[in-house]
Structures are given as structure tokens and as C-alpha cells.
Structure 1
Amino acid sequence: MMNSMSIDALLETALHGSLSDEQARQLSHCEDTATLATAAATLRDRGFGSGVSYSRKVFIPLTQLCRDVCHYCTFAKTPKRIEQAYMPVEHVIERVRQAEKLGCKEALFTLGERPELRYKAAREALAEMGFASTLEYLAHVAGRVLAETSVLPHINAGCMSEDEIALLRPVSASMGIMLESASERLCEKGMPHYGSPDKTPEARLQTLRRAGQARVPFTSGILIGIGETRAERIDSLLALRDVHREFGHLQEVIVQNFRAKEGTKMASAPEPDLDDLLWTIAVARLIFGAEMSIQAPPNLSPGVLPQIVAAGINDWGGVSPVTPDFVNPEAPWPHVERLAKETALSGKYLHERLTIYPSYVRRAQHWLAPSLVPRLLSRVDGQGLPRVDEWLTGQAADAPAAELALLAKRRPVASAAVADILQRAEAEQRLTQQDIVSLFEARGEDFAAVCQAADCLRERRCGDTVSYVVNRNINYTNVCYFKCQFCAFSKGKLSENLRGRPYDLSADEIARRAKEAWQRGATEVCMQGGIHPEYTGQTYLDILATLREAAPAMHIHAFSPLEVWQGAQTLGMPLEDYLRKLKAAGLHSLPGTAAEVLDDRVRAVLCPDKINTEQWLQAMEVAHGVGLPTTATIMFGHVDGYEHWANHLLAIRALQLKTGGFTEFVPLPFVAAESPIYLKGRARRGPTFRESLLMHAVARLVFNGLIDNIQASWVKMGAEGVMACLNAGVNDLGGTLMNETITRAAGASHGEETSPQEMEQRIAAMGRVARQRNTLYGEADTTQMERARHAERLAVAVNTPASKYERSKRQLIASG
């Protein structure tokens, strides 16, 4: 037995670095399972926080014929003991569709190894169906599943050649092969793998290497208790680690415990006890470190699942609500509800994943066949985990009941890591990028705790008052020469098919809309448009002159940083000089749009020809410096991830600390429906409801003491959504809008205008006090407030068709 100092030194190395092969082998002498498990759990928490994942799957035993004769297996059958050599594709599709209705997202294909090399029945069945091999038929069936359902195939096809992996890669999101053991001794006569050519360690490791070369997200693992020693287990884990270090393609390592089965040569063999299983799980975690997913099947160890979690796993593998475990038919799957309760007993939160793990989802273009990428992106959130409800930004679907229930939970208990972050946020300390990412990853009680902490800060900073402004959006042109991939509003030469034809408002129409807005009680016009190729900096000055003439007392909130940059450049003026000129012409404040996500890796995909992060921040800083307050926004949920959101929030925070010029922060969830980048299959479907709520809540926490006003967009979030946001740190519902066209162009359906009465009804329904404000959060003009409550129906807006040349935006006095 090792002395305690040696164990401590090994564990210290594992916790703060990586064990060498020799150091890992020394663990075989350590019998202190509890000590190993404590260190392993620490590592696991570092990599996976409070979550334990599972994949909701349907099991497809495509064939139970196999040329191997493993001495513990009851899955493989002879032709005389089965009704048919292969499951017909129609039966597969029927089973997958049933599973799809129950929320399954993975079809696990398992099959014997190359039965056609051993059985005439297999060869004849394949020939009758028109296939030369089992794997050729498998590729056909998996392709049908992809074409006819939303379920993603995971393929366990055994040993494969390079050509076979290439055949299966376009029809599977992931694949796998259990190494089981790297011990050649287990292939000797009298041992469990004798007579099984596909179970030789080198054959299986060669398949693993080929999968790595082909960039296939892969599963592997070891089977314990079949006659191997603990030292041999460690060697098997090290063999897997070597392959993963070379290619980086192992998503998970399974530690599966042998279960003796009647009718096999090993029916009387002893099964590994609980301590042996826990020891192996802990050692696997210590060898692979914090980032590798370590899995143990829950159906093979009923009644002891909290102990298994405590040993260092972070995943339960595939759990089926439809089909049994055909490899271990004696061990039924636990119901997901029961699994969640068992997981909760260990202080963890059970959540779904796809067959492809989040870190691989986030690099889908590298790890998946191109045809699979759009299918995957439409199914995931920003972390790479599956969408589990039907809510979409801007659509009419009900808010998810699960999130609403969590919001209503009294005194949720956050994990230690999240609780520490919340405590620092409440103390107005700067959070790190990783802190913020951790908050966006919050699920279960962590999610509830983040939202409630944000709401407590809202109450402390803003009280129970919820504000809104009566305003009108005037989008003066939808012609734009920029090629932002997310935008369904702007029109170029080839985009007339997207939501209407190009227009360019005349000065008369701009003036008419401003006058009408004032008469209907508006205190603000919000002016933005596409970057028309004929516009110059003078155009924006003319728009201001027209507005000043039409509605002298109106607050003009206009021109994104992109428009300001474009205007300054066309006039050859420094940015500061042009902003001063705009201010002198009547501009009162700037919207903080065109930010999208302030991370140039995202912008390179989303809006490559737009101003970059530094330029956007510079425009805001200069605006603040000349006395023009601005808002700040983020448009999220497309090609971005949580680290990009964190970078955005930190950039806004840093500038606010420097200038104090941001009046509010406005999260804008991406509306995907008509967005070009989504229609091309290159973006997600927008953020989930959970992510949308968290963006408001996390912003409140990050900006604590710096930006007091966090706004929710009713156009994006819908009525239920903004009411939920009011319990997640929000204190403002934005504007009544009168004409909202940009979000509508992207496919939203929540309406173009709301009224003060509707705003106040929503606020009162949440037990809050409504307050009509002006743009800068002062008191609204009482005369305008009265007008807003008795406003007549809007006149029909006329979108003046775009002409070849720019029309003047300066309204002549005579035409007024």
C-alpha cells in the first residue's frame, strides 16, 4: 500500500496539472477509494459545475448477429435464435418516430460485428435488400432517420476501416466503440475475448485512431470485472488518453461494470463490487482531468447513483423512455424523473444533452459533415445543449413552464461556485469572463438563484417602479449596402423577396410621421435605417432639420454608431467633430445598436463589413464625451457563445466605468425566422427562453452600480416573456414604438405597437408600479401623457419606393 504522502502528492499533481503515465500507474496501489473520489469530484466540478447530463435516446439493435463470441454477451444471437437477420428500415423509422414524440433526440444504433463474414443468413439478407455489407445497410438506415425525423444517429458499429468511417460520417452526429480493455491477455484461450477477432486491443485502438483522423466525435470506454487487473484498467485508460491527446475526438469515456448473465460462459463470474466501480470511476477522472466527460450507465447500478456521482462522473449516458438496454436486458432504464431525483440527492442538476457533446457542437463545422451542421444548429442553445421547448424569439408560443416554475421557486439553493459569483456581483465587484460564462450556464436551482439575485438588485437600485416611454420608430430606409448576415430588414439588389420592397422615405413622410407621433403623445422618435449608398453625413443632418421643424419639442434618439461612422467618413470629418455637429443640429441621444456582439470573432461571421468592436466602442466613447448619452444593446443567440456574451458585457462595463454615458442596457434576442444566416443553415434559431431571461439577469449583475436600467423588448420577448423578465432584474419595458419594422421583418409576430394602457396592465399584473418616462428616464410631459391615452388610430404609413438617386431629407418650409 502507498503511504499517504505519496497519495497526496499524486492527487496534488492531478488537481493542478496532469498525471504522467507512470504516476497514473501508481494509482493501482491506492486502495483509499474515498480519498480518490474526493479529488475526482473536485476535478469534475471544475469542469462541469453542478450539472450531470444524459441523452434521451432510442435504442436501435439493427442486427444481433455477430462474428465475435464474447463470453459475457447475450446481445449477439445465432440465426436460429432470431426472427430476422436485420431490422427492416420501416420498423426503424416507426420506432424512431415514436421516440421522437417522447422527446428523444438520439438514435443509438448498435449491432454485431460483421455478421456477413460468419453467417450465410446475413449475407443472403443483405443481398436481398441490395447491400454488400452490414455497414452499407447501416448507412442507408441512418440516412433515412436523418431525412425523415429530427433525431440524430449515434453509431456503434465496431471496428471500421477508413472507408467505412467515411461512409457513416455524413449520416451520424457521433460514433463509438468500447475499447473494453487494452489487455492482450484477455484474448488468450480461456479468457472472455478468446475467439473474438474484433476485440483485440490493437484493432479497436486502430478504429479509434481512424475516427480521430476523420474528425468524428467519438465515444469509448472500459468494461470492468471481466478478468482484468486494476493495473490493466489504468493501462486501458492511458491508451484512450494517448489517442485523445493526438486527435481530441473522444467526447466521453465510459466506465461500465460487468453484469453476469445467464446462458453465457461467464454466468457464474463475480461482478465488480461498488467500491471497485467507484475506484475505477475516480481513477478515470484523475487520469483524464476536469474536461473529459466520464460516464457510468445508471441502469447497471440501481440504488447507488449518488455514490457514483460523488466518485466523479458528470454523465449518465443514453437513457431511453422507449426501448430497453438490449446489451443489458436484465437492467431496465430508470425513469428520467427518478434519475433526476437520484442526481439531486448528490447535489447536482440533471439536464439533457445531444449525442454530440457541447464542446464539439461549438465547433460543428470542424467535427461534423457539412450536411449535418444546419440540422444540429437548429436544435441547440449557445452552450451546445439541446433546446427542450418550442419557445422562439418573437413568436407566439407560451413561455416554458419549467423556467417559469423555477422563477417562482422560493429560496433556491445555488451551487457553491454560483453562490460565490452572486455574492461578488452584489458587492459591485468586477466579474471575470469565466464568472459570467458560469452564470449563463446556470440551470435548475442555479438558474433560479441567478434570476432572483438579479431581481433583488433591481429592487435595491430601482424599487418596484417599471418604466416605459411613448415613442415612434421611424426607419427611414431599408436600402443598405452592408451585408450583415442576420438582417432581414435591409434590401440590396437581390433581397426584394425578403419582407417587402426597397423604400426610402421622403422628407415629407418623415415629417408627417413625427408630427403624428407628437399628436399621439410620443416624447421620442427613434430614427435608424439601412446605410443607403447615396446617403452622406449631410443626409443625417437634413433628417434632424426636418424633425426639428416638424416636432420642435420631440426628443430625437437617432443614428447608430455605424451611421455616425459612415456620416463622418463621407464628409471627411473626425468623429468628434461630426458628433458635435449632429448635437448642434438637434440630436439628443444615440441608440446603442449595430453592436450585435462585441467580439470580432463573431462579427467576422455575422457582419464582416461592419464597424468592428473597437470602432463601436470608440463611437460611444466620443458621443459620451461630447454630451450625447446613449443606450447599449446586444443582439444574441445566432453564431455566438457564452464567452462572447461575457466579452460584450465586460466591454460595455469598462466603457461605462470610464464615461458613465450609457442610460440603459437592452438585450435583443435574435429573431431567426427570416434571417438570411439562419435560412442558410449557419445560425441557431435564436436564444432559448432560459438564455433570454439570463441575459437580462446577468446584465443586471455585471452592471450593478454602473447601469441601473435593464430593458426588456416586448416585441422580442412577448407579453409572457417580459413579465418573466420583470422577475429577472428588468425595470423597464422600452417604448410603445407605433411602427416597428426591423423585428417584424425578421419574422416576429408580437405586433408593431402597444399602448400606455397595455403597458401599465402588464406592469400592474406583476404587482409593480408603472411609470411613463422620457428618453433619459426623467418625468414624461403631462400633456403628452394625456394625449397618449387618447390617441387616435395611426394613419396608414407610406413607404416611399426607393429611387435611383438619394432624395433630399431636408423638408422645405413651404412644403410643411
Structure 2
Amino acid sequence: MLNISALRDLEQTPFADLLRQAAALRDAGHGRRISYSRKVFIPLTKLCRDVCHYCTFAETPKPGVPAYLSIDAVLRIAEQGRRAGCHEALFTLGDKPEARYAAARDALAALGHDSTLSYLAEAAGAVLDKTGLLPHLNPGVMTKAEMAMLRPVSASMGMMLESAADRLCERGGPHFGSPDKAPSVRLQTIEAAGELAIPFTTGILIGIGETRAERIDALRRIGELHERHGHIQEVIVQNFRAKPGTKLAGADEPDLQELLWTIAAARIILGPEMNIQAPPNLTPDFYGTLVGSGLNDWGGVSPVTPDHVNPEAPWPEIEALAKATAATGHLLVERLTIYPAYARDPQRWLDARVRPAMLLMSDAEGLARTENWAPGLPISETALADFNRTPYLAAVDRTIARAVDQATAARRLDTTDIMRLFQARDRDFRHVCEAADTLRRETVGDVVRYAVNRNINYTNICYFRCTFCAFSKGKTHDDLRGKPYDLALDEIARRVTEAWERGATEVCMQGGIHPDYTGQTYIDICHAVKRAVPDMHIHAFSPLEISQGAATLGIGVSEFLQRLRDAGLGTLPGTAAESLDDAVRAIICPDKISAGEWLNVIEAAHKVGIRTTSTIMFGHVEGLDSWALHLLALRDLQERSGGFTEFVPLPFVAMEAPVFRKGGARRGPTLREAVLMHAVSRLALHGQIANIQTSWVKMGETGVRLCLQSGANDLGGTLMNESISRAAGTQHGQELPPPAMRALIRSVGRIPQQRDTLYRPVDAERETAAENPADLAPLILTAPNDPQALSRRSA
């Protein structure tokens, strides 16, 4: 941050050079993005004890006009905003009107409150709980105790510093008679917000009689507070607008150059990472010029309510703002009231009451989720149309293009490059997906393969407590998704035989970690399959099951894998990977094997000649950095061992997952993120893993088409009995038969081919058997106390 002596440099720097310097700093910190928040304004009260000489928001009590909006009126406004796609409810109100007006005190008493801030807490809590919108509170000066009271019902708060010049509060100044405008009082409020870890908005108002030096001093003080607490999420540079009926009605407004100079100065003083905002409705004809001065945010724009502070200045249409922003080479992105850096660290910055609503509205970057789709649900026509919208930007970002070129050449990307690819939107998103599809065609051609297989989950009893899992049950616990079961070997053998008769070449077998299972249980399962159908390929047992089975036998992982191989195990599913980032695993599966242990089991399997798949489960609590670490861990292991057959992105299906139902996770990836995971993995794993599979269970047929056009080349298995995703809430069924598989593949102009587990074509007999299969017989779910249950046989 600059010191006071640097003011001379700002004054002496040629204006055009100053703007270029500020814009370059902004691009270094924020790239091509300019953000905004889609919000609804709720003027809880227009009464105020202050008498600022330029304000038309504050009113005096009037007969017949309620002093405060009722809770019902507040909720009607909020609901109107929710229906219009808003994510933020901005509460605007005057400072402590009860200190000046008896009408305010009487109205509060009738509402059951003794202060405006107490009533604000009730109103904000009602909006949060009943509409899910994130409240942002602008109630003026507050004590630390008052802010602590409001923190549980707000995602962020704000108060303009306006100026740090005490002289503006003297007689004749614009703040004379306004005790809450004293700079020291306002700075104390901003400091208290930092001490309470409240994401805070502040800024300066220019053109009310302050000097440039005083503006710089105000910006410096804001910067010093941010250096201490890290809580200033945005700084607004707002230009004074003269309003009829005020004492400053005849005052000169700051000209455009003065506004641009101040925005640039704010950027240079506060640095590349700070969010600098200028309200677009106050300078409506100069969007491109404002962007050139170094701002990176347009602030709140409401599709339903006016700017109650500047009612004479209408909001721009969001589409027009997007086009004007794109004309400068920048991309308009929607954020929440809480900026991404704060949204990505909710444990620190948000109260537990607010976190679920924020996570519900957030994508993996902490920006606003702008679509209603989630994995496991159908993709609506509206969502698809928005996904296919014509890009605003004319050119691809150079850093994106460079990362794509490096990946296409099979060079290893670093974490930053992969994260940048995951951030791709608009034109950049199209470029990444098209490059991935081209690379897919060059690498594996136009054949899309699928396997006819059956899922057999031999038990849903598990003593692990993975917070994302809706499948597992306690040993005796019933819930909405069915009773605990523990299959008999005869039932496993029956399902294997039935699958073979229906054309299957593989059984995929996994289950919960039953407390009574040993390594011998898994060996017995293999023997049962091979006795039933000797030619059936066994694709079974996650690395977690391998680790647990080896431990129960008192042998090493490699020895246990060899025993399983000798018993008939063919390949290992690369599940239980979830996220290969131990910080994430500590949240979603704290008692599971670590990322390093998972990789060690997989590498041991490859060394004994057992090939495996690889997976990621994404869209819950993790961020882009975790995705990048995961892909690089898989790439590096494949370079050492060469044992992965494919990579399978598994979007998190949230609906019935405990962590989501308790408000601790997002709704899964957005549609853009889900498609990008396939495209970016094709690029990042190029030269190591050739096959990228897309899950029809998670993505549905429409989503599968999008992924097949963005780097994916495999549809996985027909499954016959999918139960894990179904338990989590997916609506895409339990089986996708071969005719449906082929029709889906042909719908995107590709060539279908039935394969086995190791990507070899199957013989004609298997294809014929799979063509017109008989209906599946009812499943027999062996009860845990049945003598034939696996756990009782192993006891």
C-alpha cells in the first residue's frame, strides 16, 4: 500500500499512464472478470437521525406512512427478488432513527423491539430462513456487540466511510449535524467488523468538498484496516450526484476525469487483489471508460427494485451491461454478496446459520450458481439454452490458449494452469471443450464404447462415517432409503448368472465396510462368482476395502491383492478416491484411508498386474485447487505404473447426502463445471490416460451428450442394478440397456461399440445375449441376521 508521499507521484503521473497502470494491476489480480451481484433492495426504514446535506433517502415521519416495513412486506420484496434470480437481499436503512423520532420508538415497540437493529435482525433472519437469499446489511454505525448480534443473519455488512476528513463534519460541511458521519466513529465500526470476521463493504464518496489528498487518506485508512483483518471485501468509489431538495442541490458534481482518477488511485493504493467498485447507474454512458480505470466490480444490480439511495439513476439491463463489459475484452460474472475469496472459507467468514444458504448458491469458485441443475436431475431446456448461449467475448484468453496448447502437446500442466482451465467461461469455455474434443478424436477416434455389466453391492452396512454417502447404513439402522442388508453368497451367484444370461461380461462389486468382514470375505466372493460363471470378469473392491481386508488378515496389501487375483479378481475400481486432497478428506471422509494410502493401494495393484480405473467425486466442499491436485496425482501415478484403464468423473449427487442435508456442502457441480471436468481431464491427462468416461447415472442423457462433445469417449456400463447414486437421489434410473446406449452414442454422430472391462471388443455371442435380455428377477436382500449372510459366514 502506498504511503502519503506517494500522493505526489499520483498527481504527477500522466493521466493516461495512471489509468494503464491501474488497469494492469486489476488484470493481474482479477484477469478478465468484472463481477456484479444480482440483488433486491429492501428499505427497512427511511427514517434516520442524521441530516446529510446530499441525501434524499432519509425521510421524516409522515402520518399514515409506516415507519418500518412489516415482516410480510419485507418477505414479499425478497420473494420477488428470489423469483427474478437474485441471490442477495440488501437491507438499506437510516442510522438509529429511534434516537431522534418518537414515531420510530413507538413503531418499534409495536413490533416488539427496542431498537432498529433488533428489528433488522428479525427481518434479515426471516429473509434468510424463508427465501434463502443472503442478507447484506447497511444499517450505518454499529457497536461491536450490535454487529455480533447481526452476524448470524447476514452474509456481509457494509458502511461507506465516505471521507476521513473531520472538517466535513464542521458547520457548513455536508456532514454537519450527522453524528454518525464522524470519521473516527465510522472507522471504529469497520475495525469491529474485522475483529468479528465479517466480510465488509466500504468506500468513499467523492465530490462533497473533499480534496484529493483527503480521498487518498481515506483509502489508506481503509487499506490499513484490511491489512490488520483481511475483511474489506470491496471498496466503492461513488461519485456525488446533486439531488433536488437537498442543501447540495446546486453543487457541482465531480466530472468523469475526477472519478476515473480516483478509481485508478484506489486500485494503485489498495493493490491488485482488492475489489474496486463504481456504481454503473451513476455513470451510465461510460461503462468501457470506467473499466479502463481499474475497477473489477459493478456492485449490486437489481432486476426488480430501484436504487433507493439514487432513485433518479435506473439500473442498467444486465444483458446490456454484459455486452458493454465484453466490448472492453472483459467478462461479466455474477457473484454473491460475499465475494469468492470469503465464500471459499465459510468456516471463518460466515456464521453457521448462513453457510447452508451460501453453499446452496455457490459454485466451486465461490461465485454465484446461476442455473437450477444439479447432478442426478434432468437438464431443463432453459438450462441447456443458457449453456449453449453465444459467447460475449470475441477472443480466447491468452493464458487459456497457452495452457491448452501445452496440454495438447502432452506436456504436464502445473496446478495453476489446470485451475485456470477450470475457471474457463464464455469463449474460453468453448475453446477448452472444443480442444478437448479435437484431442479425443485424435487420440481414440470416434468410437464410443460401453460395457454390459451388473452392479452388485453386497452390503450397505458400513462402520465408516463418510458425510457424502447416502448408501451405507448402520448395522441395525433403518432409514428412508431402506433396511440394512448383507447378501448371501447364493444371492451373489444368482445375480452373476442372471447377468451373464443378459449379455454381461463384468460384475462390478463394492459394498460398505462391514465391521465383520475380513479379507477372506472378499476372497469368498470372488470364488462364488467364478463358480457361478467362470468367464465373468470380476471388477471389484475399492482401495478402502483392499486396505481393510489386508489388515484383517494381518498381511500386506500386495500379498492380499495377489490372493484376490488368484481367486479370480480381474480389475479394481478406482473408487473411494473422492478427493485426493487430505484437507478435503478430513471433512467428507475423515476416517477413510488418506490420499497417499489410496495411491499406494492402486500402485500396488498395478505392480501385481491388476489394472484399475480412476475416479474423482467433485462438487461438494472442495475447490479448483483440489481438482488440480487430484488430476496431477493420477497423471503422475500413471506415468510410473501405467495401470489405469480410464478416468471417471463422478459429479456429487447431493439430494440425500448427509453433508448436504445438514447444509455443509454445495449441490454438486454446476453444468459448466461438470462438463469442464471431462474436458480438462482429457487435456490434463493427455499422454497418460486415454479413456475419459462420462456417467449417464449422474449426468443423464442430455449431460452425456455434452460430455461426449467435450472430450469424453466412454459411457461405462449398463449397470443393471445401480443403487449408490440412486440412494443419493439421482433420477436417471438403474439400467441403460445396449439399444439405448447405442442410440445415445449415435445421437452425437459417433460409433457405438460394446467392450469388455479392458477395452477389448466382445464376441458376437455376448452382443446377441445383451440385445433382448429378460426382465431382472426381484432382488433378494439378505438380512444381517440371516445365517447365510456374508458377515455370519465369515464370523
For normalisation by structure 2, the TM-score amounts to: 0.97
CA offset at residue 304 of structure 1? 0.7
Name the residue aligned to 1:404. 387
Tell me the SS of whatever aligns to 2:354.
helix
Tell me the SS of whatever aligns to 1:709.
coil
- Residues 1:385 and 2:362 aligned together: no
Name the residue aligned to 1:304. 286
- Note closer, same or farther for the CA distance 1:411–1:113 as it changes in structure 2 (3 Å cut): closer
- Note closer, same or farther for the CA distance 1:402–1:419 as it changes in structure 2 (3 Å cut): farther
CA contact (8 A) 2:23 2:293 kept: yes
Counterpart of 2:710 (choices 724, 728, 731) is 728
Tell me the SS of whatever aligns to 1:371.
coil
Name the residue aligned to 1:263. 245
Tell me the SS of whatever aligns to 2:242.
coil
CA contact (8 A) 2:331 2:392 kept: no
- Residues 1:417 and 2:417 aligned together: no
Name the residue aligned to 1:434. 416
CA offset at residue 231 of structure 1? 1.6
Name the residue aligned to 1:798. 780
Partner letter of residue 97 of structure 1?
E
Partner letter of residue 633 of structure 2?
A
Write the distance in 2 (CA, Å) between the matches of 1:454 and 1:319.
36
Tell me the SS of whatever aligns to 2:680.
helix
- Note closer, same or farther for the CA distance 1:101–1:403 as it changes in structure 2 (3 Å cut): closer
- Note closer, same or farther for the CA distance 1:182–1:324 as it changes in structure 2 (3 Å cut): same
Counterpart of 2:612 (choices 630, 635, 648) is 630
CA contact (8 A) 2:782 2:789 kept: no
Counterpart of 1:89 (choices 51, 71, 79) is 71
- Residues 1:128 and 2:107 aligned together: no
Name the residue aligned to 1:554. 536
Counterpart of 1:147 (choices 120, 129, 153) is 129
Q: How does 1:24-103 map to 2 (within 5 A)?
A: 24-80=6-62, 83-103=65-85
Name the residue aligned to 2:321. 339
Name the residue aligned to 2:171. 189
Write the distance in 1 (CA, Å) between the matches of 2:375 and 2:410.
31
CA contact (8 A) 1:471 1:526 kept: yes
- Residues 1:608 and 2:587 aligned together: no
Name the residue aligned to 1:234. 216
Write the distance in 2 (CA, Å) between the matches of 1:220 and 1:806.
68
Deviations 1:44-96 (A, max 9, x none): 22222222111111111222222212121111122259933222222221121
Write the distance in 2 (CA, Å) between the matches of 1:491 and 1:96.
40
CA offset at residue 804 of structure 1? 7.5
- Residues 1:506 and 2:481 aligned together: no
CA offset at residue 24 of structure 1? 4.1
Tell me the SS of whatever aligns to 1:588.
strand
Q: How does 1:13-28 map to 2 (within 5 A)?
A: 19-22=1-4, 24-28=6-10
CA offset at residue 732 of structure 1? 0.5
Partner letter of residue 239 of structure 1?
R
Write the distance in 2 (CA, Å) between the matches of 1:390 and 1:536.
44
Write the distance in 1 (CA, Å) between the matches of 2:247 and 2:64.
20
Deviations 1:83-118 (A, max 9, x none): 332222222211211121111121111111122222
Counterpart of 2:203 (choices 221, 225, 241) is 221
Deviations 1:257-307 (A, max 9, x none): 111112222222222222221121122112222221111100011111011
Write the distance in 1 (CA, Å) between the matches of 2:46 and 2:509.
67
**Bigger CA drift: 104-113 or 296-305?**
104-113
Write the distance in 1 (CA, Å) between the matches of 2:62 and 2:409.
72
Partner letter of residue 427 of structure 1?
A
- Note closer, same or farther for the CA distance 1:252–1:534 as it changes in structure 2 (3 Å cut): same
CA contact (8 A) 1:65 1:77 kept: yes
CA offset at residue 541 of structure 1? 1.2
- Note closer, same or farther for the CA distance 1:81–1:128 as it changes in structure 2 (3 Å cut): closer
Counterpart of 2:144 (choices 162, 166, 169) is 162
Write the distance in 1 (CA, Å) between the matches of 2:673 and 2:154.
28
- Residues 1:273 and 2:255 aligned together: yes
Name the residue aligned to 2:464. 482
CA contact (8 A) 1:362 1:383 kept: yes
Write the distance in 2 (CA, Å) between the matches of 1:130 and 1:147.
20
- Note closer, same or farther for the CA distance 1:277–1:681 as it changes in structure 2 (3 Å cut): same
CA offset at residue 409 of structure 1? 6.7
Partner letter of residue 259 of structure 2?
L
- Note closer, same or farther for the CA distance 1:475–1:100 as it changes in structure 2 (3 Å cut): same
- Residues 1:540 and 2:514 aligned together: no
Unpaired runs of at least 5, structure 1: 1-18, 812-816
Name the residue aligned to 2:304. 322
Write the distance in 2 (CA, Å) between the matches of 1:50 and 1:443.
10
Write the distance in 2 (CA, Å) between the matches of 1:479 and 1:581.
24
CA offset at residue 125 of structure 1? 2.2
CA offset at residue 23 of structure 1? 5.6
Write the distance in 2 (CA, Å) between the matches of 1:23 and 1:694.
48
Name the residue aligned to 1:171. 153
Q: How does 1:664-679 map to 2 (within 5 A)?
A: 664-679=646-661
Write the distance in 1 (CA, Å) between the matches of 2:184 and 2:792.
79
CA contact (8 A) 2:330 2:393 kept: no
Name the residue aligned to 1:12. none
- Residues 1:249 and 2:231 aligned together: yes
- Residues 1:452 and 2:438 aligned together: no
Write the distance in 2 (CA, Å) between the matches of 1:424 and 1:395.
35
Partner letter of residue 388 of structure 2?
A
Partner letter of residue 723 of structure 2?
T
CA contact (8 A) 2:475 2:484 kept: no
CA contact (8 A) 1:664 1:710 kept: yes
Tell me the SS of whatever aligns to 2:754.
strand
CA offset at residue 203 of structure 1? 0.5
- Residues 1:761 and 2:743 aligned together: yes
CA contact (8 A) 2:343 2:366 kept: yes
Write the distance in 1 (CA, Å) between the matches of 2:61 and 2:324.
40
Write the distance in 2 (CA, Å) between the matches of 1:805 and 1:355.
58
CA contact (8 A) 2:87 2:361 kept: no
CA offset at residue 806 of structure 1? 7.9
Name the residue aligned to 1:713. 695
CA contact (8 A) 1:545 1:810 kept: no
The count of residues paired between Structure 1 and Structure 2 equals 793
Write the distance in 2 (CA, Å) between the matches of 1:384 and 1:625.
40
Name the residue aligned to 1:9. none
Deviations 1:516-556 (A, max 9, x none): 11111111111111111111111111111111111111111
Name the residue aligned to 2:86. 104
- Residues 1:642 and 2:624 aligned together: yes
Name the residue aligned to 1:4. none
- Note closer, same or farther for the CA distance 1:361–1:102 as it changes in structure 2 (3 Å cut): same
Name the residue aligned to 2:763. 781
- Residues 1:663 and 2:648 aligned together: no
Write the distance in 2 (CA, Å) between the matches of 1:320 and 1:773.
53
CA offset at residue 130 of structure 1? 2.7
Q: Supply the RMSD in Å over aligned alpha carbons.
A: 2.0
Write the distance in 1 (CA, Å) between the matches of 2:243 and 2:78.
28
- Note closer, same or farther for the CA distance 1:465–1:250 as it changes in structure 2 (3 Å cut): same
Write the distance in 1 (CA, Å) between the matches of 2:295 and 2:706.
34
CA offset at residue 194 of structure 1? 1.7
Q: Report the identity percentage.
A: 58
For normalisation by structure 1, the TM-score amounts to: 0.94
Deviations 1:570-608 (A, max 9, x none): 111121122122212211111000000000001111111
Unpaired runs of at least 5, structure 2: none
Tell me the SS of whatever aligns to 1:93.
helix
CA offset at residue 753 of structure 1? 0.6
CA offset at residue 403 of structure 1? 4.9
- Note closer, same or farther for the CA distance 1:414–1:82 as it changes in structure 2 (3 Å cut): farther
Write the distance in 2 (CA, Å) between the matches of 1:473 and 1:725.
23
Deviations 1:126-152 (A, max 9, x none): 233232122122222212212321212
Write the distance in 2 (CA, Å) between the matches of 1:248 and 1:805.
62
CA offset at residue 744 of structure 1? 0.9
